[in-house]
Amino acid sequence: MALMAGLRVPARALLRSGCWLRGAALAGAEAAAGLGAGVRRFGSQRVLVEPDPAAGVAVVKLKSPPVNSLSLELLTELVISLEKLDNDKTFRGIVLTSDLCGVFSAGLDLTELCGRSPAHYAEYWRALQELWLRLYLSGLVSVAAVNGASPAGGCLLCLSCDYRVLADSPSCVIGPNETRLGIVAPFWFKDCMVNTVGHRAAEQALQLGTLFPPAEALRVGLVDQVVPEDQVQSTALAAMARWLAIPDHARQLTKSMMRKPTADRLAKHREADVQSFVSFVSRDSIQKALQTYLEKLKQKG
């Protein structure tokens, strides 16, 4: 404990990434995931990809301690991994999950939104747009195995998938809490919410900045299943099998028919959306609100 207190951040990071617990269990986990000899994990520093070529499925794990906040680096690495999987005919589906304990993703990395230059904000927003468009329109089946808290941008990642399984734990809250920070979700996040839970529920959740506990998230339709924490990944893989039973071409054309009009609203006006974000985030009042929120988070930690 004293050692952990003295080395607060690294110790927490290690615990979060499950390093102390995982070493011995790794071989077993690989076997359970169907990773035989010769099937190698790949990915990058912040995105771990565990392929199961026989099943045509890859488990994509976010591993950017302490909370998988969406830094420019994480966004970029995730886009690269998704692009690679999208272009590899071996794969028909991905399970998106977190390699950390208790957090799926803390949403946008607030340090990317505070005290930076307009050029940085623009670069960051373009990366977020890129990730959303790629995930939302991916021809792969995407199942989110939400094994931790998933506020704001974390919720957007989940909503961009085809199916969501959430862990049944009080800490596993999910929802669009932007207004509580004094900021506003972009219209394409709003559209995703509306498409998932309907206009009235989306309007209430977005205005109130609601973070739903699991039972409420299920009731409102924000997630499709709530299961015990240790069954999230296996349930996601079982759901994946149901989706993969459908011929790809028919499912993909249907997905595109359902989602392209929403995606096009951004795709056709990306640069205007970037400029609107840059001017919003650069306001003194927004900078102050974000700084205050970030300081509160740090004090709490």
Ligand X SMILES: CCCCCC/C=C\CC(=O)SCCNC(=O)CCNC(=O)[C@H](O)C(C)(C)COP(=O)(O)OP(=O)(O)OC[C@H]1O[C@@H](n2cnc3c(N)ncnc32)[C@H](O)[C@@H]1OP(=O)(O)O
Catalytic site positions = 108, 153, 177-178
Tell me if 69 contacts ligand X by CB under 6 A.
yes
Nearest to 131 by CA among 192, 88, 176, 183: 192
Give the Cα separation of 278 and 272 in Å (integer).
Answer: 10
Tell me if 300 contacts ligand X by CB under 6 A.
yes
Region of 56 (left: φ > 0; alpha: ψ -120 to 50; beta: rest) is left
The contact mask relative to ligand X for 48-67 (x = CB under 6 A, - = no) is ------------------xx
Tell me if 292 contacts ligand X by CB under 6 A.
no
**Smallest separation, CB 237 to ligand X (Å):** 25
**Smallest separation, CB 275 to ligand X (Å):** 13
Tell me if 182 contacts ligand X by CB under 6 A.
no
Tell me if 151 contacts ligand X by CB under 6 A.
yes
Q: Are 146 and 167 spatial neighbours (Cβ–Cβ below 8 Å)?
A: yes
**Which residue has its beta carbon closest to ligand X?**
107
Single residue of 33, 58, 103, 206 touching ligand X by CB under 6 A: 103
Nearest to 270 by CA among 133, 98, 152, 170: 133
**Neighbour-count burial for 40-53, b at 16+ CB within 10 Å, e otherwise:** eeebeebbbbbbbe
Q: Among 31-39, 90-98, 174-182, 251-259, which window interacts with ligand X (CB under 6 A)?
A: 174-182
Give the Cα separation of 95 and 240 in Å (integer).
Answer: 8
**Smallest separation, CB 286 to ligand X (Å):** 5
Angle of helix 118-136 relative to helix 270-281, nearest 10 degrees, comes to 130
Residues at the contact surface with ligand X, assessed by CB under 6 A = 9, 66-67, 69, 102-103, 106-111, 113, 149, 151-153, 177-178, 181, 183, 185-186, 189, 280-281, 286, 297-298, 300-301
